[in-house]
Amino acid sequence: MKAADYVSREQKYLAKNYKSFPFVLNKAEGVWLWDTDGKKYLDFVAAYSATSFGHLNQRIKDALIAQLDRMDVQARAFRHDRLGEFAEAICKLTGLDMMLPMNTGAEGVETGIKAARRWGVDVKGIQDGKQHIIACKNNFHGRTTTIIGLSSDADYRRGFGPFDNGSTLINYGDPAALEKAITPNTCAFLVEPIQGEGGILVPPKGYLKEVQAICKKHKVLLILDEVQTGMGRTGKDFAFQHEIDRPDGLILGKALGGGIYPVSAFLGTKEVMSVFDPGSHGSTFGGNAVASALAVEAISILKEEKLSERSAEMGEYLLRKLQSFNSPVIKEVRGRGLLIGLETNPAKIGAPQFCEKLLEKGVLSKDTHGTVVRFSPPLTIQKQEIDWGVDRVAEVLREIA
Ligand code: PLP
């Protein structure tokens, strides 16, 4: 079948909730992907940080097969031998006390919101129904109805209301705005340590430290969404570790499942997690034996192969190389670890068109919000692979300038 045939079948049978490129991928290995015409691409997206360990990582594959030789999915009414192991490993890695496993990032966020609201009632003494959550403008926490109720993006919200959810949106990176927005009914501040989908926006130094102090002062939970920034992406195991010991709640997803299976989790202090009792939350697939086995392996790979350190080193290398381009096409290059954004000069080219040009040259990248080209390759990427990708960026810059 030709690429056009795959595309036309999708267009007939698939809801159009994504605007995908017109080529069709059918093979993956490490940092490389191939399409049905045999064209090879360097993956500078890594499924938005999900395939951080490289495509079809051998250790993840082996862990999957070993688990499938033993046991698959069972009802959570019955205990299995892998879930406790997963919980212990992720709690020890993050420094938080307890976890609740889910599947997608959005479900992890939903879990955090439920935990915060019930904590607000049970611990802080807020009247049920009055719980107030503060989030940031330009955030991305997922696409469920509660979560898009916290979004400032009109495209995510149009036609999906009502969104009467007792929340306030404040400017990102502004601790004073947080303090101003807090009311006696505020139970949580939900925030990304770096806004990923929002355009790889790195907040001012000290931001997390300051917002943590404000949250503590007003008895408000600090809940960090590290679905994208977690598991080594920013050069530490978790982005919060650049500034603080631990938040009150932490949401993980994407790379937690090794890039081949959806695994997410909400983690919190004992006080926060104690609000859950039987029946209050759950998921059929959340924390099943396969998910648990993959997460355990993903955590081992992260530590044993020192991928956070690698992310810091390779990220610095890629950032410096991109920042060294003295091009009128570039407005700014910013980021942390291997989460890097190149903001284009809109007078020269938009980010989506920049990505299209890179694609023609065999580099997969994706814009965020039309203005920023995101570079987030697998953390396993080698220097010479970065060099190859950066040379393609240089060619695109030359052609446009
Ligand atoms: N939170 C953040 C920070 C994300 O970047 C994403 C996805 O990009 C999500 C939540 C939602 O994750 P999922 O798409 O797995 O629901």
Q: DSSP states of 292-315 as a string?
A: HHHHHHHHHHHHHTTHHHHHHHHH
10 Å Cβ neighbour count for 138? 18
pLDDT band at 305 (very low <50, low <70, confident <90, very high): very high
Find the catalytic residue in 44, 53, 86, 140. Answer: 140
Does any ligand 1 atom lie closer than 6 A to the CB of residue 110? no
pLDDT band at 376 (very low <50, low <70, confident <90, very high): very high
Cα–Cα distance list, 131 to 108, 188, 300 (Å): 19, 9, 38
Query: Which DSSP helix (H) or strand (E) runs through 21?
Result: none
Using most ligand atoms within 8 A of CB, pick from 48, 141, 366 the residue to mutate for ligand 1. 141
CA–CA separation, 76 vs 82, rounded Å? 12
CA–CA separation, 247 vs 193, rounded Å? 11
Contact status, residue 137 vs residue 195, Cβ threshold 8 Å: no
Show contacts of 3-10: CB within 8 Å, 24+ apart.
Answer: 3/35, 3/36, 3/37, 6/36
Distance 105 CA to ligand 1 centre (A): 5
10 Å Cβ neighbour count for 300? 13
Contact status, residue 265 vs residue 59, Cβ threshold 8 Å: no
Cα–Cα distance list, 293 to 66, 171, 188, 257, 263 (Å): 9, 39, 32, 9, 10
Asked whether residue 261 carries a pLDDT value surpassing 90, the answer given is: yes
Write out pLDDT tens, residues 119-137.
999 999 999 999 999 999 9
Write out pLDDT tens, residues 1-25.
999 999 999 999 999 999 999 999 9
Does any ligand 1 atom lie closer than 6 A to the CB of residue 104? yes
Active site residue 248: no
Does any ligand 1 atom lie closer than 6 A to the CB of residue 294? no
Sorted by sequence, the CB contacts under 8 Å of residue 142 that are 6+ apart come out as 104, 105, 106, 107, 109, 110, 227
3.90.1150.10, 3.30.2130.10, 3.40.50.300, 3.40.190.10: CATH of 3-56+307-400: 3.90.1150.10
Asked whether residue 165 carries a pLDDT value surpassing 90, the answer given is: no
Q: Mean pLDDT score of the chain, rounded to an integer? A: 97
Write out pLDDT tens, residues 281-292.
999 999 999 999
Find the catalytic residue in 254, 354, 357, 375. Answer: 254
Does any ligand 1 atom lie closer than 6 A to the CB of residue 142? yes
What is the CATH number that goes with domain 58-304? 3.40.640.10
Instruction: Provide the greatest CA pair distance for the chain.
Output: 62
Amino acid at 212: Q
Asked whether residue 215 carries a pLDDT value surpassing 90, the answer given is: yes
Using most ligand atoms within 8 A of CB, pick from 238, 254, 376 the residue to mutate for ligand 1. 254
What is the average per-residue pLDDT within 31-46? 97
Q: Where are the domains of the chain?
A: 3-56+307-400, 58-304
What is the average per-residue pLDDT within 284-306? 98
Distance 399 CA to ligand 1 centre (A): 34
CA–CA separation, 196 vs 319, rounded Å? 16
What pTM value is reported for the model? 0.98
